[in-house]
Amino acid sequence: MKVSPALLIPLIGLFSATAWAEPPAPAVSAANAPTGFPAVPPKGRIILWGADATKAGTPLTYQISYLADDAVVGQALQLAVKATWQVEKEVKNNKTGVMEKKKIDERVVKSFPITPKKQAVETIALPAFDKGTAIELYFAGNTEKLPPLSNAVELKKRGALFLLPEAEELAKTVAALPETAPVKPAKPHKVLVYTANSGFKHDAIPLGARTILLLGQKSGAWETLISNDRHMFEPETLAQFDAVMMMQNTGSLFGDPDKTVNERLRKSLLDFVASGKGLAGSHAATDCSYDWKDYGALIGGYFAGHPFGKISVRNEDPQSPLNAAFKGAGFDIQDEMYTFREPYSREKLRILLSIDISKLPDDPAKPGFKMKENRPDHDYAISWIQEYGKGRVFYCSFGHQHHVWSTPSLLQHYLAGMQYVLGDLKADAKPSAKK
| Lowest pLDDT segment from 54-58, 246-250, 408-412 | 54-58
Query: Could you read off the pLDDT of 71-115 as tens digits, one per residue?
Result: 999 999 999 999 988 888 887 777 777 888 887 878 899 999 999
Give dist(CA 47, CA 41) in Å, integer: 6
Rounded Cα–Cα distance for residues 10 and 322 (Å): 27
How far apart are the C-alpha atoms of 427 and 366, rounded to whole Å?
Answer: 39
Task: Please tell me the predicted confidence (pLDDT) of residue 337.
Answer: 87
Average pLDDT rounded to a whole number, residues 181-207: 93
* Structural domains of the chain, ranges and CATH numbers in brackets: 5-164 (no CATH), 170-434 (3.40.50.880)
Question: What pLDDT is attached to residue 24?
Answer: 33
Task: Encode pLDDT of 196-251 as tens digits.
Answer: 998 888 889 999 999 999 999 999 999 999 999 999 999 999 999 999 999 999 99
Whether 6 and 44 have beta carbons less than 8 Å apart is answered as no
**Of 140 and 308, which is predicted with more confidence?**
140
Burial class (CB in 10 A: 0-12, 13-18, 19+), 26: middle
- Helix (H), strand (E), coil (C) string for the chain: CCCCHHHHCCCCCCCHHHHCCCCCCCCCCCCCCCCCCCCCCCCCCEEEEEEEEEECCCCCEEEEEEEECCCCCCCCEEEEEEEEEEEEEEEECCCCCCEEEEEEEEEEEEEEEECCCCEEEEEEECCCCCCCCEEEEEEECCCCCCCECECCEEEEEECCEEECCCHHHHHHHHHHCCCCCCCCCCCCCEEEEECCCCCCCCCCHHHHHHHHHHHHHHHCCCEEEEECCHHHHCHHHHCCCCEEEEECCCECCCCCCCHHHHHHHHHHHHHHHHCCCEEEEEHHHHCECCCCHHHHHHHCCEEEEEEEEEEEEEECCCCCHHHHHHCCCCEEEEEEEEEEECCCCCCCCEEEEEECHHHCCECCCCCCCECCCCCCCCCCEEEEEEEECCEEEEEECCCCCHHHHHCHHHHHHHHHHHHHHCCCCCCCCCCHHHC
Q: Residue 355 above 80 pLDDT?
A: yes
Least confident of 121-130, 232-241, 278-287: 121-130
Q: Residue 64 in contact with residue 137, Cβ under 8 Å?
A: yes
| Contact of 21 with 53, CB cutoff 8 Å | no
Q: What is the pTM of this model?
A: 0.89
Cα–Cα separations (whole angstroms), residue 229 to 84, 192, 212, 253, 418: 20, 11, 18, 10, 21
Confidence band of 56 (pLDDT split at 50, 70, 90) = low
Residue 263 pLDDT:
95
CA dihedral (180, 183, 186, 188) positive or negative: negative
The residues, any chain, with a CB within 8 Å of residue 256's CB and separated by 6 or more, are 230, 262, 265
Between 165 and 54, the higher pLDDT residue:
165
Determine the pLDDT at residue 90: 81
Residue burial 296-312, b: 16+ Cβ < 10 Å; e: rest: bbbbbbbbbebbbeebe
Question: Who wins on pLDDT, 402 or 130?
Answer: 402
- Rounded mean pLDDT of 362-370? 86
Nearest to 275 by CA among 223, 233, 221, 239: 239
Identify the burial level of 184 via C-beta atoms within 10 angstroms of its C-beta, where 0-12 means exposed, 13-18 middle and 19 or more buried: exposed
Contact indicator for 250, 200 with CB cutoff of 8 Å: yes
Q: Across the chain, what does the average pLDDT equal?
A: 87
**Per-residue model confidence (pLDDT) at position 4:** 40
Alpha carbon distance 250, 305 (integer Å): 14
